[in-house]
Structure formats: C-alpha cells, structure tokens
Amino acid sequence: MSKLKDMPNVDRPREKFLAKGADALTKSELLAILLGSGIKGTNVKELSQKILRKFGNGFLHATVDELVQIPGIGKAKALQIVSALALARRIQEEQNSPDNLILSAKDALSLVSDLKDAKRENLVCLYLNARNALLKKEIVSVGTLDKSLIHPREIFAPGLEAHAAGVILVHNHPSGDPSPSEQDKQVAKRIIDAGQLMGINVIDFLIIAKNGSHSVLGELQNTELTNTEYVAEGIQSSLFDLMVDANQAYFYGVNNKVPENKGKKDALKFIDLFAGIGGFHVAFHNAGSECVFVSEWDEPAQQTYKHNFFKLSPEVFRSGNFVGDITKIKPNDIPDFDILTGGFPCQPFSQAGFKKGFNETRGTLFFDIVKILKEKKPRAFFLENVRGLYNHDNGKTFETIKRVITEELGYSFFQKIVKASDFGLPQHRPRLFMVGFRDKSINFKFPEPVKELKYTMSDIFGGKCDKEVGFTLRVGGRGSKITDRRNWDAYRVNGKIVQLGPKEGLKMQGFPDWFEFPQGISSVQSMKQLGNSVAIPAIQAVAEKIIETLNEYDQRK
C-alpha cells in the first residue's frame, strides 16, 4: 500500500483540487479531502473508496450511526461528513425550487425526496405564505425504529412564528408502502382540526416511501374521529406512530371553562408584551379592552397562555399575532392599538448616562418597547417591573427610562410603587407601575388602595393559617424549611406544615376561577409561571383608570 505522501503532488486530492479545481477530482478524492487522513494500513484515498463502495448510490443519505461502523471513522468525522452532505442537499433543494413556490404535491415531494430512504420515521413540515412560497422547512419529529412522538404544538408553533398561511406535512413510511393506514387518517384529521383553530391551513398530508407517495387528504372523506390511542403495530408505520394521549391531540386542549367574549366593537385595543401567562390580558379584558397582539418567548408559558385565551381572543391566534421573540418583530407588523402593556424584564443598563439617547438602551428589551412606542404611537402605555428598578444603579436606570419616554418619545410619565395587598390580595408584592399618555395634557391619578383584603391565607388554604397575609410569590427557592429565613412557600395550616401549590398560587395572584394550567405543565413549572406573573386586581384597577381617563378625555374634545 502506498502512502499518500509518497504520491506525486498532482495525484494528491488537496493539491489536485487547488491546481485543477473540483471538477478534476473523482468522488472518492473529494471525500478524501473531507476525511483528511486515512488509517493504519489504508491511505485516505483508499478509505474513501471503501466508503463509497459500501453505500453506493445511498451515500448521500448516510447517517452518523452507519458511518461510525467503518473502522477509522469516529463520531466527529462521521458528523463532519453527514453535515457536508446535508448542506449539499439543502442548497440543491433551494435551487431546484424557483422562487420556492410549491404549487403541487410534486413540488413538495421534491424538497423531501431523501425521506423515502430514511430508516426511521420523520415528519417534515413545509410552511408556506399566502402565495404558496416556502417560508420554512422544518423536521418536526424524528422517531425511533418503531415509534415517534408528536403533538400539534410542534407542528403549528414554527408556523405561527413564520406567519405562515398554510402547511404541508410530509411523513415517510420506512416499510416502503405509502398507503395511509386508518390511524394515519385519524391523526391527520385531528391535525387539520387544530389547524382550523390556529388559522393555518393544512394544505396536504403526504406519505412518501420507496414504492411511491400518497396524499392522506384524499382518504379523509367520511372519516370520523375515534378515541383511539395511536400505537404502532410494527407492521405498517402510522403517521405519528404513537400518540401517547389522544385527549391532547387537539391544540393545547382549549380551556372550555373560559367565558364567551362579549367585548364591544369600539373597545380600546391593547397589546400584551412579555405576556407570561396573561395577567395583563385578564385585567384589561375585565376592564373592557380588546387584545390584538401578544408576545411571549417562553414556550411553557405560551402553552398556558394559549390554553386559556384562545377562546377569549381567537383572532389573536388565527391572525398570527401571537408571537415569541419580540426582538424579531418589526413594529409595523403589529396591528394598530391604543395601549401598550408589559411587565418587561429589567436588564442593567450599560453605563447609563443622560446624553446618549437610544444608544444607552440598545441591547435591552426596554429598547424594543421604545421602538414600538416610537413607530406605532399608541395613546397610552402601562409598564410593570420590580420595585428595585426604581433605585437601580443609584436611580440612573429609572431616570434613563423616564427621560427616553418623556424627552425622546414625547409621552407623559406617571409612576407609583403599588402592592398587591393594596387591592385585596394576601401578599404584599410591591411593584413599580409606570403609566404615560401621548397627549401630555392628560392628567392621570393612580387608583386609591382598597381598605380590606378580599381574602386571607386561611381562605387560600381552606383552613386556619398562621399568617393573614402570605409571602410574596417568587420564581426560585421552593421547598425551604418553614424556619428558613428564605422560606416563602411553607405555611402552618391547622397546625400542620403545608407547601403552597399552583391552586393556591393562582388565587394569591388573583386569577379568575376559570383559569387553569394545561395538562403537561408540571407543578414546578406552574409555580415558576406564577412567580413571573402579575397581581391581577392591582393591574386591573390601573387598567380601568387608564381607560376611564382616555374616555373622559375623548368626551371633552
């Protein structure tokens, strides 16, 4: 066996490439450049030839697991090869679809032709705009040899973020038979129903296999839903082989306890930024306002939000106005509104000064609020943050926020530290409320605190509690002993020590009886979401005052 270094330069793959270009090299020589080196007893050119002989025409779809079975190919090298192949396929797919238009099943299948040879089940979603141009292609699920898990949220969440009008789902049958099973039809119908709720049209379900392809939609006529639990039988793979809980196949299990929305057509409109699980939404809805846009980046919080507000504000979801990362949204894409609301995260301002304009707030989420206020010019805003913001950095942070809003945006600015207990809840939870109006002539007064608690901690637990007003709900540090100075969730009730849970937390924050956490959200996650939420009665009292102030102003004009 000759060593590569003993060959003439003209025969070495790298040197040959540089001298004559890629077209002068064989496939094995190109692969040799990727491999970099051979193994003991086999130079890199010979190793690459062995690999190509092993896979033949299937090399383009070789997997990491298959490559590492070859002596001398480690996981890192296998990953490098598979990544290069995937990149080549991706570029080829984009070039073979002029303007990325998908006008037929043939167009869609051309983008996923590699699926027919896949040895595991895959579900690929093609997200399209209103003119059928491809916005995004995403592998939503990759299963094992005999099953895969999928939920409607994995299908529609990327579509919502991309503002997709439609989606084509493509699933492979490793068995080689593209015929849809009865289970395929059942699950497909559930996904179509979820798409109708979401406002994303399910254009087609395609099954691809070695022996051809098939459209599931053509098989759905007169198909009725059953309560079947979807379990692969090992003979023919079904569309999503395993649906662990058939009851959760609907979009997030919309909370049917939510009351019907009887809002007025001329109601003031608000947007809910850094929305969490929707405390501002509840408060402003109760105050008679209509939500037209929501942004929340945390996925578990998104689930809770959608579960509870889809019935209350369906157009927000159907129109694609429920988004994740606000930093990726252009202000002009937000519908017109009257009031901006949000409990924005307080990130320290870098070297906050008093003469740097917007530069001093770049990189913070407050700057995204500024961009929206500057572009959309709503009539009012209502921001909430921790009390510590007021004195952060010796007050410079707060003064910068106030100055940017008043001097550079031209809004009025009113602030007050408000406690949840000021409006009847059994926790103090002091927060900084900031309110402003585009018309600086508007005089605003925060609502007066109520005199009595709506209920005590004994009411919360349904037993005699040793504290009338409880600890402020927090995000972390759960489970401390009741004697620990950091304890905030352990109470003595009827002489026994009990831990605060989601049921009690919802009531402490003032959420309505119909509000609930969806299945799949753990107790730990629920408490985290509650700790990040707002005290609804306090928010609602200010919301009512803002709306009352704007209405009185309109009447005077």
Q: Which residues are catalytic?
A: 346
Which of the four pLDDT bands, split at 50, 70 and 90, describes residue 8? low
Residues 82-109: what's their mean pLDDT?
A: 72
What residues does 294 pair with on adjacent strands? Answer: 272, 322
Picking from 160, 155, 126, the residue whose alpha carbon sits closest to that of residue 141 is 155
Which of the four pLDDT bands, split at 50, 70 and 90, describes residue 40? low
Which of the four pLDDT bands, split at 50, 70 and 90, describes residue 235? very low
Minimum mean pLDDT among 9-23, 49-63, 240-254, 391-405: which range? 240-254
**Helix intervals (H) in 21-71:** 27-35, 44-55, 64-67
Q: 427: helix, coil or strand?
A: strand
* 65, 66, 68, 73 alpha-carbon torsion, rounded to 10°: -140
The predicted pLDDT at position 426 comes to 95
The predicted pLDDT at position 297 comes to 85
Q: Name the DSSP letter for residue 181.
A: P
The predicted pLDDT at position 323 comes to 86
Average pLDDT, the chain: 80
Residue type, 91: I
- Angstrom CA distances, 502 to 460, 514, 518, stand at 11, 14, 12
pLDDT tens digits for range 384-421: 988 888 887 788 888 888 999 999 999 999 999 999 99
CB 166 within 8 A of CB 202: yes
Minimum mean pLDDT among 47-51, 234-238, 342-346: which range? 234-238
pLDDT at 155 over 60: yes
pLDDT tens digits for range 158-205: 888 888 888 888 888 888 888 887 767 777 877 887 887 777 888 888
Q: Architecture of 4-92 per CATH? A: Orthogonal Bundle (1.10)
pLDDT at 138 over 60: yes
pLDDT at 379 over 60: yes
Q: Which two tokens stand for residue 292?
A: 């037209």
The predicted pLDDT at position 341 comes to 96
Cα end-to-end distance, the chain, whole Å: 95
Q: Which two tokens stand for residue 511?
A: 């959420």
The domains of the chain are located at: 4-92, 101-248, 269-450+536-556, 457-531
pLDDT at 290 over 90: yes
Residues 368-392: what's their mean pLDDT?
A: 90
Minimum mean pLDDT among 150-154, 209-213, 311-315, 417-421: which range? 150-154
Q: How far apart are CA 525 and CA 469, in angstroms?
A: 24
What does R_g of the chain's alpha carbons equal in angstroms? 29
Which of the four pLDDT bands, split at 50, 70 and 90, describes residue 260? confident
pTM above 0.85, yes or no: no
What percent of the chain has pLDDT above 70? 82
The predicted pLDDT at position 539 comes to 96
The predicted pLDDT at position 143 comes to 61
The predicted pLDDT at position 90 comes to 67
Q: Name the DSSP letter for residue 499.
A: E
Residue type, 466: D
pLDDT at 102 over 60: yes
The predicted pLDDT at position 505 comes to 94
The predicted pLDDT at position 13 comes to 76
The predicted pLDDT at position 3 comes to 53
What residues does 214 pair with on adjacent strands? Answer: 207
Minimum mean pLDDT among 239-253, 384-398, 519-533: which range? 239-253
Residues 430-434: what's their mean pLDDT?
A: 94
Residues 337-362: what's their mean pLDDT?
A: 56
The predicted pLDDT at position 421 comes to 94
Which of the four pLDDT bands, split at 50, 70 and 90, describes residue 447? very high
Decide which of 1.20.1250.20, 3.40.50.1100, 3.40.50.2300, 3.40.140.10 is the CATH code for 101-248. Answer: 3.40.140.10
Residues 470-491: what's their mean pLDDT?
A: 85
Q: Does domain 269-450+536-556 fall into CATH 3.40.50.150?
A: yes
pLDDT at 249 over 80: no
pLDDT at 535 over 70: yes
Residues 359-379: what's their mean pLDDT?
A: 78
Q: How far apart are CA 543 and CA 424, in angstroms?
A: 16
Residues 226-230: what's their mean pLDDT?
A: 33
The predicted pLDDT at position 357 comes to 32
Selected residue with higher pLDDT from 176 and 254:
176
Residues 289-308: what's their mean pLDDT?
A: 90
Measured on CA atoms in the order 326, 332, 337, 340, is the torsion positive or negative? positive
pLDDT at 222 over 80: no
Torsions phi, psi for 262 (to 5 deg): -115, 40
Selected residue with higher pLDDT from 190 and 41:
190
Selected residue with higher pLDDT from 125 and 344:
125
CB 550 within 8 A of CB 379: yes
Selected residue with higher pLDDT from 18 and 498:
498
Question: Helices H, strands E: what count in the chain?
Answer: 17, 14
Annotate 146-167 with three-state secondary structure: CCCECCHHHHHHHHHHCCCCEE
What residues does 322 pair with on adjacent strands? Answer: 294
CB 323 within 8 A of CB 335: no
The predicted pLDDT at position 240 comes to 36
- Angstrom CA distances, 364 to 127, 326, 400, stand at 31, 12, 13
The predicted pLDDT at position 283 comes to 95
pLDDT at 1 over 70: no
Q: How far apart are CA 165 and CA 199, in angstroms?
A: 7
The predicted pLDDT at position 9 comes to 55
Contacts of 235 (CB under 8 A, 6+ apart): 175
